[in-house]
Amino acid sequence: MELQPDAPPAPVPSDSRDWSELPLDALTLVFARLGAVDVLMGAGLVCHSWLEAAKAPELWRKVEMDCPWWGAGDFEFDYPWNAMKDLCAMAKVAVDRSNGKLEVFLGETFVTDEILNYIGDRSPSLKGLELVSCAEVTSQGFTYLVNKCPLLEDIELSGCMDVGGDAIVATDRACLRLRHLRLVCTEITNKELMAIVDICPCLEYLSVVNCYDIVGDDALRAKCAAIKTLELPTPENSDEMSDSYDYTETCNDFDHEYDYF
């Protein structure tokens, strides 16, 4: 019997998939798993179809942005200010792409009053706001935003030293739907905190951490008795807080262990 030559091996198919042809809905689901910065600087620049997917308003209902250099420990003498400006510009693009449907904004370090004004003017549906270690945010910018966003239900402020207790009280007059309030390293007093509780009938969660002017005494706890979830310093802890603490350093250390809501 004449032997037949071996058949040539079948060619291994190359990965010729055209990722640009993925349906818009599928691309949007993929991009939703990326951060805002990754979409704006990477995925949205690949091709025209990916850019169109990156512009879908539903992708920008929640925007979370931070400065990747914060806490690196080696930027004291060469701080990336240009990068901070780029983040501000990207935040504005993210707000624009939401087409008025932005519901949650979380910003760390780079946020300024200008950004808050921009969000307030374009985001009537905003329900959640979290700001962490934003040295360029003041009471004026914070108050402007919350007065423009009456649907706010969740507010978290951590280490924003220039947002005073009076601004937070004014905020709660504007946000009658407020349900969730977390304050970390904020200069607020017992009197101001009790005023907030009086103003906000829907408040269900209140956490006050490392706010050195707050004393968790019986009067404050009685005022907060109707709040379902309450976190206040004990009177003993309040007494132990000394003026020798480095307020800024303590708050910055705390911020990096803090989980977003």
Question: pLDDT per residue over 170-213, tens digit each?
Answer: 876 788 899 999 999 999 999 999 999 998 989 999 999 999 99
Tokens of 194: 């009790």
| Beta-carbon count within 10 A of 229 CB | 10
Confidence of residue 22 (pLDDT cuts 50, 70, 90): low
Q: Which of 257, 210, 205, 203 is closest to 233 using CA atoms?
A: 210
The CATH number of 60-71+78-255, from 3.30.360.10, 3.80.10.10, 1.10.3720.10, 3.40.50.300, is 3.80.10.10
Check residues 174 and 2 and name the one with the higher pLDDT. Answer: 174
List the domain boundaries for the chain: 20-55, 60-71+78-255
Sheet of 229-231, strands arranged across: 62-65, 104-108, 128-132, 154-158, 180-184, 205-209, 229-231
What is the Cα–Cα distance from 115 to 177, expressed in whole angstroms? Answer: 23
pLDDT at 97 over 80: yes
pLDDT tens-digit map of 128-142: 999 999 999 999 999
pLDDT at 115 over 50: yes
Query: Containing H/E element for 96?
Result: helix 81-97
Check residues 29 and 219 and name the one with the higher pLDDT. Answer: 219
